Amino acid sequence: MGMSWWTYVDGVIAVDVPSSSDAQTLYIAQTVVNHLPRISGSERDVQYYVNLQQGHNCSSTHDEFQQPSNLHDSEYGMFEHQTTAIITLRGSLRDRFFPQTLRETTQMLSRLSSQLDVLSCLVKIAGDDGRKIMFDDPSWIIHRNQPDWVQKKLKI
């Protein structure tokens, strides 16, 4: 019986979502996450958790259907909402080598940044072999030259 190889993925990503209400922010962010490429392991893939950032960063008078909203809480008919979603990811990936997980994570981050504006990113990949890498610069993810395998896989 052979020994299993493990890699670990942990991270937090803040994204800006084009939305008109808190509910729409969560819906769009979760829909994008549901369609991201997998970061896979033999027992379980990386798990994603989508949450709304506390507070608000926008005010509006109309909802996501472009209708005057009944959510208003002021005399001006305005209501406050949040367009920033926080995506947390966690995975202990069995039977995966570091290069496989690095490639899948890079692919996921590339797809995410093509769908939503990445405000901040802190994602760490570590392998049983002692290798580690930290994705901590959204501009690197968004503006870097894509390798051939990403272009072919994502059809960029």
Residue 69 is classified by DSSP as -
Distance (Å, rounded) from C-alpha 47 to C-alpha 44?
Answer: 8
Whole-structure pTM value? 0.80
Torsion of CA 106, 156, 17, 64, to 10 degrees: -150
Identify the pLDDT of residue 1.
Answer: 46
Q: What is the mean pLDDT of each run of 10 residues along the chain (156 residues)?
A: 84 94 92 96 96 83 65 63 95 94 93 92 94 85 54 42
